[in-house]
Amino acid sequence: MVFDRLDAADARGHHYRILAALGEGGPSSQIELGRRCGLDRSDVAAAVDALSDRRFVERTPDPKDRRRNIVSLTRRGRHRLSVLDDVLTAVQDEAFAPLDADERAQLTAMLTKIIDHHTRDRARHNGQAVPRES
């Protein structure tokens, strides 16, 4: 359902993840975007190329390291992120229509717990700092 709706909006999941990461965390190197989005370098590079071609993001040289680029959202990219957020909200509303507000909150809490657990496992596996349990 999600991929169909993103496809209808002429978007890809990787593109949304990168736009959302930039929207939440601000400008970032491509390497950091890969870490934040759980994508490998080649996927990040291809997605940033596509997003840059559509003027949703821009690359600028990193003032601290000219070998790296910093990727940031453009005004057009912020608008695109807002549109895609609306698409995904509609998908969630449709998918969770049978649940009342309390049930949605319970489901969200359980899914968050599962994601947090696996995020910690992946960080341990990759030798990264492990987020603390809440």
Task: Please give the Cα distance from 95 to 48 (Å, whole number).
Answer: 30
- Return the structure tokens found at 72: 């940031």
- pTM to 2 decimals? 0.79
Query: Percent of the chain at pLDDT above 90?
Result: 65
**Using an 8 Å Cβ cutoff, are 71 and 33 in contact?**
yes
The pLDDT confidence band at residue 4, using thresholds 50, 70 and 90, is confident
Token pair listed for 94: 């449709």
Cβ atoms of 72 and 61 closer than 8 Å: no
In terms of DSSP bridges, do strands 65-73 and 57-62 run parallel, antiparallel, or are they unpaired? antiparallel
Residue from 40, 37, 5, 38 nearest 18 by CA: 37
**In CATH, what number does 2-95 get?**
1.10.10.10
Q: 31-55 pLDDT, tens per residue?
A: 999 999 989 999 999 999 999 999 9
* Summary mean pLDDT of the chain: 89
Q: For residue 129, what pLDDT is reported?
A: 54
Token pair 């590079």 in the structure block, residue: 45
Sequence-separated (6 or more) residues with CB below 8 Å from residue 77: 19, 22, 51, 55, 56, 57
Question: Given the structure tokens 């934040």, which residue do they identify?
Answer: 36
